């Protein structure tokens, strides 16, 4: 395969697929479902080719492979330019891996407007892949904004009772941040014309421009970018859109939201904020570290007292992503690689938790923890899977979560930039509370006596559901036992 | 055999996978039990083989590292899955696989007929897997994997009967409590690791420990590292202030209590401190802290043990107390004495728990010793083996407990001072007392159970044979550690074997106190006399004159209630930490800070724009004439502006 255009092909597969889905006649829901699944699987296969072509010899920071570029708006030196490095690769794989599983998971609960739903899911994948592959800020911005639209509809059409409130909140929150980013992009490009003589949005060219911008202005540019990303992460205190979006979104929406969308925030920090504005990043590192640590503890405490399973998992995301942001702003290799691994881990573990909550919601139509209890005997396979997933999220050594958290914490501890033990001490205490809220939920849902008679009618996981979970659990163990496979991709960071 | 040591980790894991994945389909208890037990039995043989191979090597080559693969490599971190076979780890491995094997066999009988039989064996094998990782690890990180792994198995096994009630709550509550309290300790351990990595740039024992021996860093840093690691140890080994989970852990099946919560897992903290002895020895303060925490735990747990009426609770507090002894030993620099007590304690405490299991089994799940009595004639094998274990723990020569406990008491006198010895001896006195209170109330005296409903019976051979083996070990197990004062020129064999492990730590410690053999013999005689009189007193009171016990209890009612309720520590923890935290999170963080303040601000902003827009919207009247008027005004203004600026 031609390594020049393979990334473009990767974006085109779900895009063309999505358009094709629209032409399937009405009422053929199962055809639509199968087509959607096959298309997303095709994208996954293409991403495996990308993995195969990936050259582990060229994994330095700011070093890109398989770059495909052609002029787009030539007057402004705006390019269609895509390329990949270890960070993008690992997130692209996460995206193409989760999308088919998520689509498969909707077979049980999306009953209306299946065609539209499949279309939006595939368009969402296009947007996500575009974000991770863009090497031009303008192109990136287009994908970044475009991705909002399908998610907006997924929550707004197939969501729960308060879906409209949740989807509008999600949309406006994100928009508010990204508009400032757009201003900053243009500003940076203008600065570029001073420094290198041409106005351009080419990221690699701008990598040379950003650090030259004086700190007084650079700070604002950094903050404009960082705000947009921090909302997406979400970093405390910008997180309140998340619980609503998660609770209202259908399972598939929650999985993609937690699994991939939140990673765009942390991806953006690593891809743009740090290399474009290195001095400002160091300058603001303590602030971001403090907010991350607050998020870790705050997310855990609030998760602890939730009564709704989805909300609990949503707040746990705030805590988990806090670890990632902390790792990014520690500026050590251990912490950075830990942050990247933790992005994947969170995608797998939290994605799996949302899937599992979704599976049981499909049966009982309630997410209240108090409505369950004593299901261990009734649905043993489900209970086991929920246990493994919870343990992975808790960060049990031997499973994936531990690797990420450990690297982040150890890297933060020795960080010369942060240079303070207390970040790590407080963040590490988060591992205690993670155990509290997840095990407490597990105990109340799975153990004890059956209190709700409906629980007795629960059926255990179907073959389809098991087939969705198994691949995720394989990676949960793989990353925990042999993380080298993944760490080698991002060694340069 | 040493090169095959990884099999002792792998086999239990395979056993776990087979029983865990297919156990519910196999159904046949014999096959499940055979798979589970043989995995551990074969591991024991390999460990024994490795031990003899180690024995054949010259003393300075008795440390072999078997590396499997790189686990975590990034930045300065380079950690492998690698197992270290040396004098210390092999002793621990022998205990874990040996006692573990016996308990597996016993469980075949004990768990007979339980619906979760396969699950039980799967978890038990998983536990051995984690425990072997813990003790064989050649680095802190792999040790931590085992450390948390055993915590997980403990969680799963305490909550094994997840739908049962336990005291005021449920077994699941007890399980969660164990995991969370352990995690508090693990948090300390993690910080310790971070600090080690920062100071020494590695997490491998083979790099960190020699560097620490050579000085490496300041005493303050050594103190911090040791403090963090010790927080981990207090969690896992149930020491003050984190011991509260262990008594509740008795909610699990009794073989679990024997294996995990007496013989092996809870000694992990002792092992870890012993392994890092050179770090602890580099901090005078921390040695003191370890010794004081150990002796306090030993003493207070023993006082609680005096009045408990649940057979397993008595043993649980006894375990906490004995673990305190082990830390006392470590704290006064008697590292090998601490490990020696780990070993003898594994024999007699596993035996006590399994014996208790046998009694509970024969008494239809009754655990209240007030409802036992006179069981001697119904359960002769259980009785005699239980008695042996009780004598051993009471410290009567020549049973195993005597040697290890006496060595600890001697060193606490020689290196710690008279007060340490005195508190230690008083604890020994109480230990002898509560153990024989237990023996008397269970096996002697009047039968206090309801003969119509309860028909006591002896347990099957599959359960009593492990009891006998452990009884044998409880009797003779101490002979490998006969103190110098008796063995003369041969010295203490056990001591000599572990000497190279602790040489560096010992050389760091200031010269030990007096080592007069006469003093040693006198102290020994005193402590044995104390124990013997406590035994006599306990038997007399609890078989013949129970009214004395009742009178004492009513005379010192306040004290009695305080002990019975375990000093209300759980209640204090709940009231001062757990409940306020939950309340604060629920009432403030979530409902006020999150919903009202942060989200209120967001929604407030939104509604501000909505309201403003609502006002501005009024301008869009939809009346064409108004629009035309505004347009005209606009054009006129523009024209006026252009004209004036010309």
The DSSP 8-state label assigned to residue B512 in this structure reads: P
pLDDT in tens, B313-349: 999 999 999 999 999 999 998 899 999 999 999 999 9
Model confidence at B357, pLDDT cuts 50, 70, 90, reads very high
Q: What whole-number distance in Å separates Cα of residue A293 and Cα of residue A428?
A: 9
Smallest CA–CA distance, residue A196 to chain B, in Å, is 34
Find the mean pLDDT for residues B581-588.
79
Q: Is the pLDDT of residue B513 over 70?
A: no
More confident residue, A31 or B40: B40
In-domain check, residue B169 = no
User: For chain B, what percent of residues have pLDDT higher than 70?
Assistant: 98
Tens of pLDDT, residue by residue over B425-475, are 999 999 999 999 999 999 988 888 888 888 888 888 889 999 999 999 999
- Which chain B residue shows the shortest CA-CA distance from A173? B602
Torsion sign across C-alpha atoms A139, A144, A149, A150: positive
| Residue position matching structure tokens 């399908």 | A150
What pLDDT is stored for residue A74 in this prediction?
Answer: 82
Supply B191's token pair: 């910080």
Mean pLDDT value across residues B142-167: 87
Q: Best-predicted range by mean pLDDT among A161-170, B393-402, B553-562?
A: B393-402
Q: Is residue B146 part of a domain?
A: no
Average pLDDT over residues B543-570: 78
3-state SS of chain B: helix, strand, coil percent to 5? 80, 5, 15
Q: For residue range A47-76, list pLDDT tens digits in order.
A: 999 998 888 888 777 888 888 888 888 888
Per-residue burial over A63-75, b if 16 or more Cβ lie within 10 Å, else e, is ebbbebbeebeee
Asked whether the beta carbons of residue A301 and residue B585 sit closer than 8 angstroms, the reply is: yes
For residue A484, give the nearest of B70, B170, B183 by CB distance: B70
Contact check, Cβ <8 Å, A334/B76: yes
Whose tokens are 């799967």? That residue is B122
pLDDT at B289: 94
Residue B240 has pLDDT above 90, yes or no: no
CB contact under 8 A, B194 and A414: yes
pLDDT of residue B489: 67
Q: Do A302 and B176 touch (CB under 8 A)?
A: no
Between B350 and B608, where is the model more confident?
B350
Determine the Cα–Cα distance for residues B103 and B253; give it in Å rounded to an integer: 12
Using alpha carbons, list the distances in angstroms from residue A274 to A328, A341, B28: 9, 18, 60
Instruction: Find the residue in B nearest to A166 (Cα).
Output: B603
Q: Provide, as residue numbers in chain B, all residues whose Cβ is less than 8 Å from the Cβ of A397.
A: 141, 144-145, 147-149
CA distance B9 to B39: 10
d(CA A384, CA B576): 34
> A1 pLDDT exceeds 60?
no
| Shortest Cα distance, chain A CAs vs residue B74, angstroms | 6
**Which of A311, A315, A435, A491 has the most B C-beta neighbours within 10 Å, making it the best mutation to test the interface with B?**
A435
Two tokens, residue B226: 């040791």
Max Cα distance, chain A (Å): 73
For A459, list phi and psi in degrees, rounded to 5: -110, 150
Domain with B632, as residue range(s), is 571-645
Residue to test with chain A: of B9, B74, B595, most A Cβ within 10 A: B74
CB contact under 8 A, A406 and B141: yes
User: Can you say whether residue B365 is alpha, beta or left, with left for phi > 0 and alpha for psi between -120 and 50 degrees?
Assistant: left
- Here the tokens at position B322 are 């004995």
Cα B101 from Cα B15, distance rounded (Å): 13
* B39 to A84, B48, B109, B124: CA distances (angstroms): 47, 14, 18, 11
CB spacing of B74 vs A435 below 8 angstroms: no
The verdict on a CB contact (< 8 Å) between B589 and A487 is no
Q: Under an 8 A CB cutoff, do B71 and A483 touch?
A: yes
Helices B493-508 and B335-362 cross at an angle (nearest 10°) of 130
Tokens 């440390």 — which residue? B63
**Contacts B139 to A, Cβ<8 Å:** none
Q: What is the pTM assigned to this prediction?
A: 0.90
Average pLDDT of chain B to the nearest whole number:
88
C-alpha to C-alpha distance for A272 and A188, rounded to whole angstroms: 12
- For the CA atoms of chain B, what is the radius of gyration? 31
Average pLDDT of span B93-120: 92
- Rounded Cα distance between B314 and B257, Å, is 12
- A398, closest residue in chain B (CA to CA): B145
Query: Is B65 a domain residue?
Result: no
Determine, for residues B144 and A397 on separate chains, whether the beta-carbon distance falls below 8 Å: yes
* Among the listed residues A316, A320, A301, A219, the one whose alpha carbon sits nearest the alpha carbon of residue A263: A320
Residue B617 has pLDDT above 60, yes or no: yes
Least confident of A205-219, A436-450, B205-219, B614-628: B614-628
Task: Give me the torsion for CA of B365, B371, B373, B376, rounded to 10°.
Answer: 0
In a domain, B108, yes or no: no
Which has the higher per-residue pLDDT, A481 or B572? A481
Closest-CA distance, A302 to chain B, in angstroms, reads 5
Helices B311-331 and B335-362: crossing angle in degrees, nearest 10, is 180
Write out chain B residues lying below 8 Å of A380, CB-based.
Answer: 24
- CB atoms A380 and B187 under 8 Å: no
Q: What is the pLDDT of residue B217?
A: 84
Nearest partner of B301 among B351, B243, B354, judged by Cα: B243
**Torsion region of B114: left, alpha or beta (phi above 0 gives left; psi -120 to 50 gives alpha):** beta
Residue A337 to residue B606, Cβ atoms within 8 A: no
Residue of B nearest to A375 (CA): B163
ipTM: 0.89
pLDDT at A2: 59
Give the list of residues 6+ apart from residue A191 with CB closer than 8 angstroms, or none.
A209, A212, A213, A217
CA–CA min distance B7, chain A (Å): 17
The yes-or-no verdict on residue A140 having pLDDT over 60 is: yes
Q: Is the dihedral of CA A321, A327, A333, A336 positive or negative?
A: positive
DSSP secondary structure code for residue A81 in this structure: E
> How far is Cα B349 from Cα B110, in angstroms, rounded to an integer?
17
pLDDT digits (tens, 9 = 90+) for B247-295: 888 888 999 988 888 889 999 999 999 999 999 999 989 999 999 999 9
Q: Provide, as residue numbers in chain A, all residues whose Cβ is less than 8 Å from the Cβ of B172.
A: 443, 447-448
Out of B74, B172, B606, name the one closest to residue A337 (CB): B74
**DSSP sequence for A244-292:** HHHHHS-HHHHHHIIIIIHHHHHHHIIIIIHHHSHHHHHHHHHHHHHHH
Interface test with A, best of B71, B75, B578 (most A CBs within 10 A): B75
Nearest CA in chain A to B588: A302
- Most B CBs within 10 A among A169, A384, A439, A470, hence the mutation to make, goes to A439
- How far does B210 lie from chain A, in Å, by closest CA? 22
Contact B77 A407 (CB under 8 A): yes
Interchain proximity A334–B74, CB inside 8 Å: yes
CB count within 10 Å of CB B231 equals 22
- Tell me which chain B residue has its CA closest to the CA of residue A242: B599
Across residues A199-218, what is the average pLDDT? 87
Cβ B162–A241 below 8 Å, yes or no?
Answer: no
Q: Are the C-beta atoms of A354 and A104 separated by less than 8 Å? A: no
Nearest CB among B74, B173, B190 relative to A333 is that of B74
Say yes or no to pLDDT of A304 above 80: yes
Q: Is the pLDDT of residue B553 over 80?
A: no
pLDDT digits (tens, 9 = 90+) for A239-287: 888 888 888 888 888 999 999 999 999 999 999 999 999 999 999 999 9
Phi, psi of B309 (to 5 degrees): -110, -5
pLDDT at B88: 93
CA end-to-end span of chain B: 103
**Element at A457 (helix H, strand E):** none
Residue with tokens 């909140």: A169
Q: Which residues contact B214 (CB under 8 A, 6 or more apart)?
A: none
Closest CA to B506 of B321, B274, B163, B291: B274
Cβ pair A9, A42 in contact under 8 A = no
Q: B2-53: per-residue pLDDT in tens?
A: 899 999 999 999 999 999 889 888 888 899 999 999 999 999 999 999 999 9
For residue B374, being part of any structural domain is answered with no
| Minimum Cα–Cα distance from A305: chain B residue | B586
Q: What percent of chain A has pLDDT over 90?
A: 48
Nearest to A486 by CA among B73, B606, B63, B2: B73
% of chain B beyond a pLDDT of 90 = 47
Please report, for residues A21, A115, A153, B469, the alpha-carbon distance to residue A118 in angstroms, rounded to integers and kept in the order given: 8, 5, 12, 66
Q: For B500-524, what is the mean pLDDT? A: 78
Inside any domain, residue B584:
yes
Q: What is the pLDDT of residue B80?
A: 92
Size of interface A-B (CB pairs under 8 A): 136
Please tell me the total count of domains within chain B.
1
Q: If you average pLDDT over every residue of chain A, what do you get? A: 89
pLDDT over 60 at A108, yes or no:
yes
Residue A129 buriedness (CB in 10 A; 0-12 / 13-18 / 19+): buried
Distance of alpha carbon A448 from its chain centroid, rounded?
34
Q: What's the rounded Cα separation, in Å, for the pair A33 and A11? A: 20
Interchain contact, B589 vs A439, CB within 8 Å:
no
Contact status, residue B44 vs residue B63, Cβ threshold 8 Å: no
| Any domain includes B603 | yes
């Amino acid at each position: 395969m031609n390594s020049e255009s393979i990334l473009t092909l990767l974006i085109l597969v779900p895009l063309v697929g999505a358009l094709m889905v629209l032409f399937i006649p009405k009422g053929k829901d199962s055809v639509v479902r199968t087509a959607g699944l096959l298309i997303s699987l095709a994208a996954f296969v293409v991403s495996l080719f990308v993995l195969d072509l990936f050259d582990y010899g060229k994994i330095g920071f700011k070093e890109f492979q398989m770059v495909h570029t052609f002029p787009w708006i030539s007057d402004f030196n705006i390019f269609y330019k895509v390329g990949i490095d270890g960070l993008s690769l690992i997130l692209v794989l996460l995206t193409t891996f989760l999308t088919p599983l998520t689509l498969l998971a909707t077979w049980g609960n999306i009953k209306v407007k299946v065609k539209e739903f499949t279309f939006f899911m595939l368009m969402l994948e296009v947007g996500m892949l575009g974000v991770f592959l863009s090497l031009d800020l303008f192109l990136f911005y287009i994908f970044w904004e475009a991705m909002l639209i399908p998610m907006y509809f997924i929550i707004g059409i197939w969501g729960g009772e308060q879906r409209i409130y949740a989807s509008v909140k999600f949309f406006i929150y994100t928009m508010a941040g990204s508009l400032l980013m757009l201003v900053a992009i243009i500003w940076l490009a203008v600065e570029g014309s001073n420094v290198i003589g041409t106005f351009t949005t080419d990221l690699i060219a701008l990598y040379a421009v950003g650090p030259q911008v004086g700190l007084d202005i650079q700070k604002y540019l950094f903050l404009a970018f960082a705000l947009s990303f921090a909302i997406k992460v979400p970093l405390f205190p910008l997180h309140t859109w998340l619980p609503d979006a998660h609770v209202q979104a259908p399972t598939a929406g929650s999985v993609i939201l937690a699994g991939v969308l939140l990673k765009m925030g942390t991806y953006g920090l690593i891809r743009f904020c740090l290399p474009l504005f290195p001095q400002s990043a160091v300058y603001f590192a303590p602030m971001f570290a403090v907010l991350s640590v607050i998020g870790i503890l705050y997310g855990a405490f609030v998760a602890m007292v939730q009564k709704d399973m989805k909300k609990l998992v949503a707040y746990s995301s705030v805590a988990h992503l806090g670890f990632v942001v902390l790792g990014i702003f520690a500026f050590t290799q251990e912490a950075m690689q830990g942050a990247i691994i933790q992005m994947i881990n969170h995608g797998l573990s939290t994605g799996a938790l949302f899937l599992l909550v979704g599976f049981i919601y499909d049966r009982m139509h309630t997410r209240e923890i108090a409505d369950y209890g004593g299901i261990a005997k009734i649905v043993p396979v489900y209970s086991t899977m929920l246990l493994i997933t919870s343990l992975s999220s808790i960060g049990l050594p031997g499973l994936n979560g531990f690797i990420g958290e450990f690297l982040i914490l150890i890297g933060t501890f020795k960080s010369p930039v942060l240079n303070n033990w207390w970040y790590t001490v407080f963040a590490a205490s988060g591992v205690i509370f993670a155990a509290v809220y997840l095990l407490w939920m597990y105990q109340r849902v799975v153990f004890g006596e059956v209190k709700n008679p409906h629980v007795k009618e629960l059926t255990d996981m179907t073959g389809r559901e098991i087939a969705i979970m198994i691949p995720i659990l394989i990676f949960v163990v793989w990353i925990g036992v042999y993380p080298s496979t993944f760490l080698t991709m991002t060694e340069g960071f | 055999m040493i090169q095959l040591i990884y099999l002792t980790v792998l086999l239990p894991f395979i056993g776990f996978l087979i029983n865990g994945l297919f156990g519910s389909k196999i159904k046949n208890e014999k096959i499940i039990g055979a798979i589970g037990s043989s995995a551990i039995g074969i591991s024991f043989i390999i460990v024994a083989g490795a031990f003899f191979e180690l024995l054949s090597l010259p003393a300075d080559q008795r440390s072999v590292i078997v590396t499997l693969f790189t686990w975590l490599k990034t930045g300065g971190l380079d950690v492998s899955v690698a197992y270290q076979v040396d004098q210390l780890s092999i002793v621990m491995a022998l205990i874990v696989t040996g006692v573990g094997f016996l308990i597996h066999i016993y469980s075949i009988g004990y768990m007979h007929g339980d619906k979760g039989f396969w699950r039980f064996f799967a978890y038990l094998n998983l536990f051995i897997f984690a425990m072997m990782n813990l003790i064989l690890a050649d680095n802190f990180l792999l040790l931590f994997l085992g450390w948390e792994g055993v915590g997980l198995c403990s969680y799963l096994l305490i909550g094994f009967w997840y739908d049962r009630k336990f005291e005021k709550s449920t077994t699941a509550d007890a399980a969660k409590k164990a995991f969370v309290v352990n995690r508090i300790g693990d948090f300390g351990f993690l910080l310790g690791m971070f600090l080690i990595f920062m100071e020494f740039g590695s997490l491998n024992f083979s790099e960190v420990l020699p560097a620490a021996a050579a000085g490496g860093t300041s005493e303050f840093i050594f103190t911090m590292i040791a403090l963090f690691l010790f927080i981990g140890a207090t969690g896992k080994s149930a020491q003050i202030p984190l011991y509260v989970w262990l008594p509740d852990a008795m909610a699990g099946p009794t073989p679990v209590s024997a294996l995990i919560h007496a013989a092996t897992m809870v000694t992990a903290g002792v092992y870890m401190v012993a392994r890092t002895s050179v770090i602890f020895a580099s901090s005078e303060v921390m040695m003191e802290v370890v010794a004081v925490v150990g002796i306090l735990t030993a003493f207070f747990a023993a006082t609680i043990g005096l009045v408990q009426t649940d057979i397993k609770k008595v043993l649980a507090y006894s375990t906490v107390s004995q673990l305190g002894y082990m830390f006392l030993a470590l704290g006064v620099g008697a590292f090998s004495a601490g490990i020696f007590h780990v070993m003898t304690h594994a024999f007699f405490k596993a035996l006590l728990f399994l014996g208790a299991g046998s009694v509970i089994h024969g008494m239809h799940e009754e655990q209240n010793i007030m409802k036992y009595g006179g069981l001697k004639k119904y359960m002769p094998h259980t009785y005699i083996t239980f008695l042996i274990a009780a004598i051993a723990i009471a410290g009567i020569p020549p049973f195993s407990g005597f040697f290890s406990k006496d060595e600890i008491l001697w060193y606490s006198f020689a290196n710690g001072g008279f007060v340490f010895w005195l508190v230690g001896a008083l604890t020994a006195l109480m230990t002898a007392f509560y153990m024989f209170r237990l023996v008397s109330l269970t096996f002697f005296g009047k039968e206090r159970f309801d003969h119509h409903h309860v028909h006591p019976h002896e347990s099957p051979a599959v359960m009593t044979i492990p009891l006998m083996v452990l009884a044998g070990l409880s009797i003779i197990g101490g002979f490998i550690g006969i103190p110098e004062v008796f063995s003369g020129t041969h010295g203490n064999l056990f001591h000599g074997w572990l000497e190279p492990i602790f040489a560096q730590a010992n050389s760091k410690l200031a010269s030990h106190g007096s080592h007069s053999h006469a003093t040693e013999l006198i102290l020994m005689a005193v402590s044995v006399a104390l124990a013997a009189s406590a035994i006599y007193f306990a038997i007399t009171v609890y078989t013949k004159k129970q009214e004395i016990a009742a009178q004492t209890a009513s005379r010192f009612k306040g004290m009695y209630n305080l002990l019975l309720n375990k000093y209300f520590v759980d209640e204090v923890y709940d009231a001062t930490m757990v409940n306020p935290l939950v309340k604060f999170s629920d009432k403030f963080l979530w409902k006020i800070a999150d919903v009202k303040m942060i989200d209120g601000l967001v929604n407030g902003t939104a509604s501000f724009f909505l309201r403003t827009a609502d006002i501005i919207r009024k301008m869009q009247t939809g009346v064409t004439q108004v629009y035309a008027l505004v347009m005209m005004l606009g054009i006129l203004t523009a024209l006026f502006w252009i004209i004036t600026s010309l």
